């Protein structure tokens, strides 16, 4: 899914300086803002010679500008590929901010390839020609995988800039023997084939879509690193464990469950143990629910679980201290009582 900026919608976008070659509007997937672009470095320091280049969808890599080519954001560049030939991408970040990006991604400097030149009109036309073939190639590859009865899902295809290689991205639960598939794809497309397995979250990032919040998916717009999400994140935030609401389009738990988790964890530190029980004159009461930010807990007697009592944390801590020292003399207040009733249907 391609996201357009507001200037693109008004036909005033100047981010891609080679739009006259591509005749396409700029892509804003995983967009970054170079907030140091208008600030010149000190005269004693040279400009950082590493450049961040974006390819199809969310694929970004760092390249060495050994020839000191004057590059700006949005320029199309011809870069070194992993094997033979060359590839074409768009410059997304230059200067000192590239250092921070490399540090965030833990990218070693030894694996960085170099930039050849700014892309010529002929190279960009060849690149656009192969980009138009990607959708048809994806449909053909899916038919071949289905014919071979392979339990895998081919989700995206990316041609190299010179058209000498095609990379097929797929997802699978188990290990797949795709040697026959590679032979069939090589005979069909007459180019070198590379199969690359990705996770379900990476698949959602490549395809894109709209989340339940009404916004474009975080993984396809700005989220770069995927952290593990567990059901404990929902429990700490007092969310009901409804799988339909907690899972995203990748069929995994939503990444946004971790956004406010730290705030909840810091607030829960002041609470006593949720499994604690308080002893009163009427019997033993146990915790049924907590209100994290109002710092209150709901208790009910074990013998009468339908009646809940709302008590502040300070009062609960006093009761627990008194239970350790003296016999139970506390009595839950009848104020703020909720009578839980059951509905019956005929």
Domain segments of the chain as ranges: 6-120, 133-201, 227-269, 277-339
Which helix (H) or strand (E) segment holds residue 22: the answer is helix 19-22
- The CATH architecture one would assign to domain 133-201 is 2-Layer Sandwich (3.30)
DSSP state of 257: G
Instruction: Assign residue 208 a region (left: φ > 0; alpha: ψ between -120 and 50; beta: otherwise).
Output: left
d(CA 112, CA 24): 29
Other C-beta atoms within 10 Å of 309: how many? 19
Question: Tokens 């100047």 identify what position?
Answer: 14
Instruction: Assign residue 295 a region (left: φ > 0; alpha: ψ between -120 and 50; beta: otherwise).
Output: left
- Structure confidence at residue 270 (pLDDT): 84
Residue 12 Cα to chain centre, angstroms: 30
Q: pLDDT exceeding 70 applies to what percent of the chain?
A: 79
- Structure confidence at residue 3 (pLDDT): 43
User: Among candidates 153, 160, 156, which has minimal Cα distance to 127?
Assistant: 160
Structure-derived torsion over alpha carbons of residues 184, 187, 191, 193, reported in degrees to the nearest 10: 10
CA angle 230, 235, 240 (to 5 degrees): 105
User: Is the Cβ–Cβ distance between 87 and 161 less than 8 Å?
Assistant: yes
Question: Tokens 């950082």 identify what position?
Answer: 48
Tell me the three state secondary structure of residue 131.
helix
- Structure confidence at residue 302 (pLDDT): 86
d(CA 54, CA 16): 12
Question: Tokens 């289905």 identify what position?
Answer: 146
User: Among candidates 159, 169, 66, which has minimal Cα distance to 112?
Assistant: 66
Which positions of the chain have pLDDT values less than 70? 1-32, 34-47, 106-110, 326-346
pLDDT in tens, 289-305: 888 888 888 888 888 88
């Amino acid at each position: 899914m391609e996201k357009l900026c507001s200037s693109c919608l008004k036909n005033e976008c100047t981010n891609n300086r080679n739009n006259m070659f591509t005749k396409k509007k700029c892509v804003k997937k995983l967009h970054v803002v170079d907030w140091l672009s208008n600030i010149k470095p000190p005269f004693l320091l040279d400009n950082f010679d590493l450049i961040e280049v974006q390819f199809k969808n969310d694929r970004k890599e760092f390249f060495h500008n050994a020839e000191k080519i004057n590059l700006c954001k949005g320029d199309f560049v011809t870069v070194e590929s992993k094997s033979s030939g060359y590839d074409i991408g768009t410059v997304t970040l230059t200067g000192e901010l590239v250092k921070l990006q490399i540090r965030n991604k833990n990218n070693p400097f030894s694996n960085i390839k170099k930039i050849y030149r700014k892309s010529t009109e002929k190279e960009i036309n060849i690149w656009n020609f192969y980009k138009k073939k990607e959708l048809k190639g994806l449909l053909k590859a899916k038919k071949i995988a289905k014919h071979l009865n392979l339990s895998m899902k081919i989700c995206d295809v990316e041609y190299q800039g010179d058209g000498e290689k095609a990379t097929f991205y797929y997802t699978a639960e188990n290990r797949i023997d795709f040697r026959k598939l590679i032979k069939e794809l090589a005979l069909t497309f007459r180019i070198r084939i590379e199969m690359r397995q990705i996770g379900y979250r990476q698949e959602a990032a490549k395809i894109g879509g709209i989340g339940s919040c009404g916004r474009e998916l975080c993984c396809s717009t700005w989220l770069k690193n995927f952290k593990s999400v567990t059901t404990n994140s929902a429990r700490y935030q007092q969310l009901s464990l409804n799988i339909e609401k907690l899972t995203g389009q990748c069929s995994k738990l939503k990444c946004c469950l971790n956004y406010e988790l730290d705030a909840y964890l810091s607030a829960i530190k002041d609470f006593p143990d949720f499994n604690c029980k308080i002893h009163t004159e009427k019997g033993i009461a146990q915790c049924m629910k907590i209100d994290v930010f109002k710092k209150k807990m709901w208790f009910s007697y074990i013998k009468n679980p339908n009646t809940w009592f709302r008590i502040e944390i300070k009062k609960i801590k006093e009761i627990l201290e008194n239970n350790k020292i003296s016999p139970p003399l506390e009595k839950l207040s009848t104020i703020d009582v909720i009578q839980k009733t059951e509905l019956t249907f005929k």
